[in-house]
A and B are shown apart, each in its own frame.
Chain A
Amino acid sequence: MSLSVKHLLGIRDLTRQDIEQIFQTADEFKAVLQRPIKKVPTLRDTTIVNVFFENSTRTRISFELAEKRLGADVINFSASGSSVSKGETLIDTVHNILSMKVDMVVMRHSASGAPHFLSRHIDVPIVNAGDGINEHPTQALLDAFSIREKLGGVEGKKIAICGDIMHSRVALSNIYALKKLGAEVTVVGPPTLIPKHLAEALGVNVTYNMREALEWADVANVLRIQLERQNMPLFSSLREYNLAYGVTRELLDSLKKEVVIMHPGPINRGVELDSAVADGNESIILQQVENGVAIRMAVLYLLSGRKG
């Protein structure tokens, strides 16, 4: 058994069987993470470099922890404070790092398609840790894995992806993953933050009414408002956004059902999600973070076998 791809550039390239194999492997890694000794020597002869051209805290820590739990040697590279600021190109940077004999690259970049470009020039497996507004495959995998764990499966479940769909690589990867696993997906948010042809292109439902979406959904995956990616204002104020699209305690309590709350982090508390909801009983946000390490261990394990 192995994945059908050499790199994990996006969920778009994966088959349903690939995703299920990643989940099955992550189940066993999650069991490893519950033990007193949370480490296995599987990748002890492997060196992995984390190349982060864009800021990240949880994703980088999660990858680094996954790599160390697998016994790999880890190098961290951040663009800030590096020769990138002197004008070095992406390809030169990575070639220089690869000359130091690394076996895998985990890369985050603010430009959509950067890891795809790199995959055409280097031979070692690449894991996309987020590229621009394109994809964030390991986040989508851990989200779907968390839904499977909470609800016993993904097939047939109703998932609402809420908020800033336009700028979210998490939204796109989530839609691919959930659709491949047989879930129903609705995206909800202000019309200015939902791409026009999303429904036809990806086969999802679109609504602009948060209450309607939550009344329909088993799970609400609430996304962060990405002000840093907005060139011009797409809604009048954060306060107004919170009033129309914020998931509040009052809104959830007024529903006649329980909706599982997810968020990929970091949370803008009081904007897309109230603290009482983020820390409430319906929230599985911290389980998502925990599952992230197991999912990333599974991806690295399944891809690193391809180097031989």
Chain B
Amino acid sequence: MKTILNARQLEITVDRLCHQLIENHGDFSNTVLLGLQPRGVWLGNRIYNHLQPLLPGADIRYGKIDITFYRDDFSKKGKHIPVPNETTIKFPIENKRIVLIDDVLYTGRSTRAALDAMLDFGRPSSVELLALIDRRFSRELPIQATYVGRTVDANVTENVRVLWTERDGRDEVVLE
């Protein structure tokens, strides 16, 4: 097991991603953040909580979107049926600038499903993707992230795991 980001590096990376978002989205008055269920929401929560003190008084809209029913591999899952998670989008996304947030960008299929799921809620003016880890050279679809925490070149047999204190007891990104 190899550490890609330790707790301190992860904190700095989240801080940098937040500042990059502010550069492009200002006070977020026309922007919506959407964390991808289940794992992207942990990063989404961090980003949302980190942005609040950086933009006092700003009304940042943050939702969670589940892609279970939009996967393109459902019939190939056999006995392992994905358990759906909650989708919480309590505001209109029509004509808004969307930032999709996921922890790891790998094949791009989750992002594709998220785009499909999102379009059922409205037609945004633009969509960006923020990923903590970009496993480049592993893409199966023409999708790339707008904001990247760290780029990782990993073998297909390796697994990138993002650990969060709230869920796993520590902040760390590891390659297994």
Contacts and interface: CB of A to CB of B under 8 A. Distances in A.
Interface string A36-73: 11011111011000000000000000000000001000
Interface string A69-109: 01000000000000000000000000000000000000000
Given A32-B69, A35-B120, A25 B79 contact: no
Contact of A37 (B78, B85, B86, B120): B120
B81 A2 contact: yes
B79 A306 contact: yes
Contacts of B71: 42
B176 interface: no
B69 A40 contact: yes
B83 A24 contact: yes
A43 B74 contact: yes
Which of B71, B83, B86 is most buried by chain A, counting CB atoms within 10 A of its CB?
Answer: B83
B77 interface: yes
Contacts of A308: 75-79
Contact of B79 (A31, A40, A305): A305
Interface in B61-85: 66, 68-71, 74-81, 83-85
Interface string A279-308: 000000000000000000000011011111
A2 B79 contact: yes
A212 interface: no
| Residue from B69, B75, B78, B121 whose CB has the most chain A CB atoms within 10 Å | B69
A301 B77 CA distance: 12
A41 B79 contact: no
Nearest to A70: B69
Contacts of A2: 79-81
B30 interface: no
Nearest to A305: B81
A40 B70 contact: yes
A42 B81 CA distance: 12
A149 interface: no
A192 B44 CA distance: 62
Given A1-B83, A24-B83, A25-B84, A307 B75 contact: yes
A39 B81 CA distance: 19
Interface residues of B, number: 21
Given A2-B81, A40-B70, A35 B121 contact: yes
B59 interface: no
B87 interface: yes
A28 interface: yes
B97 to A, nearest CB: 20
A31 B66 CA distance: 11
Contacts of B84: 24-25, 28-29
B85 A28 contact: yes
B69 A42 contact: yes
B116 interface: yes
Nearest to A45: B75
Contacts of B121: 35-37
Contact of A302 (B70, B75, B76, B81): B81
A40 to B, nearest CB: 4
A301 B85 contact: no
Interface string A98-135: 00000000000000000000000000000000000000
B158 to A, nearest CB: 26
- By CB atoms of chain A within 10 A, which of B87, B116, B120 has the most? B120
Max count, chain A CB within 10 A of own CB: residue among B75, B76, B87:
B75
Given A28-B87, A31-B86, A40-B70, A46 B81 contact: no
B78 A305 contact: yes
Interface string B74-109: 111111110111110000000000000000000000
13 contacts: A21-B83, A25-B84, A28-B66, A28-B68, A28-B84, A31-B86, A36-B121, A43-B74, A305-B79, A306-B78, A308-B75, A308-B77, A308-B79
Given A41-B116, A305-B74, 8 more contacts: A2-B79, A21-B83, A24-B84, A32-B69, A37-B121, A42-B68, A301-B69, A305-B79
Which 10 pairs across A and B sit closest by C-beta, in order of nearness?
A40-B69, A305-B81, A28-B84, A308-B78, A37-B120, A42-B69, A2-B81, A1-B83, A2-B79, A45-B75
